[in-house]
Chains A and B, each alone.
Chain A
Amino acid sequence: MGLNIAKIRGLFPVLHQEVHGKPLVYFDNAATTQKPQAVLDALTNYYEKDNSNIHRGAHALADRATRYFEETREAIQHFINAREAAEVIFTKGTTESINLVAATFGRKFVEKGDEIIISTLEHHSNIVPWQMLCEEKGAVLKVIPINDAGEIIFEEFEKMLSAKTKLVSIVHASNALGTVNPVKKVIAAAHAVGAKVLLDGAQSSSHLQIDVQDLDCDFFAFSAHKLYGPTGLGGLYGKREVFESMPPYQGGGEMIKEVTFEKTTYNEIPFKFEAGTPNIADVISFKAAIDFINELGKDAIKAHEDELLAYANEQLMQIKGFIPVGTAQEKVSVLSFNINAMHPYDVGMMLDANGIAVRTGHHCTQPLMKRLGLEGTVRASFAVYNSKSEIDKLAEGVSRIARIKNK
């Protein structure tokens, strides 16, 4: 059964506004999604009724806040099908999750001459932490090449694997092109040489069913703000035995069992990795976002977004001067493109003047843009609340802009 998009749109206050005198068309969902009213309500509700510090106070408010906080952890556990809630830790987002793995797992297990493998598709946040680690350790960073469609070349990846490979850290779905990587195959091949695998799930988590047990990944990093949830919050899944083998990330309150000046013993997971008072309000409100997704169902969301992507492709391909960028077989709802003889910034500005919000530039994937020989692209990315009539507006806008240089 199809989703009632008009009804869904009604849940998102921010969508109902004009930009430069035109109704807002929000197609920058890969950067961040909008938040349903339920998330906003949960946020104010927490501050109005439950605000208190968690895991410590012996009073009713602290008790409630702690319970709601841990309920979000359980909601995430089910959302990604982790074995237990303790395998989910809260971070500021995908970026911090990856940095955490680099600073703990990386610092403990990666040694001189070891190798870490990433792909050409990576976001800067899945490149720079590994470069820093490799520099510190004298390890080597290897990069899986891609074909012109924007898909990793699996055979090349297989050739890179060896006993030296300590970690494969790869994007599940590319933010710049939408490519969905064959991560199950990647994980199996990496495990065969004894390497661990981190999936950057910043983009995939809102579009695809995530089952970390079926995937068998060792880490899965994601951001709440791309999942209809609050900004500045995310999480990291890790297998219990892997998390337990890692040293803590930051020192402070919450992460300890016992502190003396001579020696400190650390808390159990997940708390071992959550030093200090966490972002309680956003964690609690994030549950409303997960509930929102669950109520609609990932499969129904994906079906709707696939339909939008196919429709957008069909409409835009008819425009003279339209150049699609990234034509992988498997994609999430990201449409990257250029217009012949025009700079993406100019296209983005013209679309903005029409009330259409897109992202332009390198999308934090400069090495990928270099591989494609591009300075950047225009990126329209679709979420569950987008509609075909919005895509008609995009097509009309692009068509008018393309005509300037493509008579």
Chain B
Amino acid sequence: MSSIQEVQDEIVSEFEILGDDKESTIYYIMELGGSLEDFPDNERIEVNTIKGCQSKVWLIADEKDGNVHFQADSNTDITKGLISLLLRVLNYRSPEEIINAKLDFVERIGMGSIIGSQRSNGFASMIKQIKLYAMAIQTKQNA
């Protein structure tokens, strides 16, 4: 499995190919959403939503072979695409790796200017929630 840094570098170079054509960038992000694992219908409930996102985002996590397994969904395609980028970097990694991850791809691809400031806040909330889940699982592992 590639390291967190390697995956981020990959993402950055993919976005570089898109250049600064905003429409194709958004279209690309929306397409990425299609790669998300199917989200279980019975988990689409209030307690699994992330506060601070304009669109609805559901996120759940469980432990798989000592790593954290995330599943997520959203009612908007762009947000789904953003989540899929995050999960591509962080899914199936150890809690420790996730907690310590430095997510520099967000800034390197100029996410703020692609998605605007309101969505950027939502994106930050997603990252926070992912790390909280990792911490919870780490606590359980150490118990």
Residues of A within 8 A of B (CB): 20-21, 342-343, 345-346, 349-350, 352-354, 361, 375, 404
A375/B78 contact (C-beta < 8 A), A345-B54, A350-B23 known: no
Q: Are A354 and B23 in contact (CB under 8 A)?
A: yes
Judge if B120 is at the interface, Cβ distance under 8 Å.
no
Chain B 15-28, CB within 8 Å of chain A: the 1/0 string?
A: 00000111101110
B75 interfacial contact with A, CB 8 Å: yes
A353 & B22 in contact (Cβ 8 Å cutoff): yes
With a cutoff of 8 Å between Cβ atoms, the chain A residues found around residue B55 in the complex are 343, 345
Find chain A residues with CB under 8 A from B20 CB.
21
Known: A345-B54, A345-B55, A346-B30. A375 touches B22 (CB 8 A): no
The 5 closest A-B pairs by CB, nearest first: A353-B22, A343-B76, A353-B23, A20-B22, A345-B76
Give residues in B with beta carbon < 8 Å to A.
20-23, 25-27, 30, 54-55, 75-79, 115
- Determine how close the nearest CB of chain A comes to the CB of B87; give it in whole angstroms: 19
List the B side residues contacting A21 at CB < 8 Å. 20-22
Cβ contacts under 8 Å, B23 to chain A = 20, 350, 353-354
Contacts of A345 in B (CB 8 A): 54-55, 76, 78-79
Kindly list chain B residues whose C-beta atoms are within 8 Å of the C-beta of A404. Answer: 27, 30
Dominant secondary structure of chain B at its interface with chain A: helix
- A342–B77 contact, CB under 8 A? yes
What A residues does B22 contact at CB under 8 A? 20-21, 352-353
Interface pair B75/A349, CB less than 8 Å apart: no
Contacts of B27 in A (CB 8 A): 350, 404
Instruction: Report Cα–Cα, A290/B15, bound state, in Å.
Output: 48
Q: A346-B77, A352-B22, A404-B27 are in contact. List 6 more A-B contacts (CB 8 A).
A: A21-B20, A343-B75, A353-B23, A353-B25, A353-B26, A361-B54
Q: Which residues of B contact A361 (CB under 8 A)?
A: 54
CB pair B75–A350 under 8 Å, yes or no, is no
Bound complex: CA A361 to CA B115 (Å)? 16
CA distance A346 to B23 in the complex (A): 11
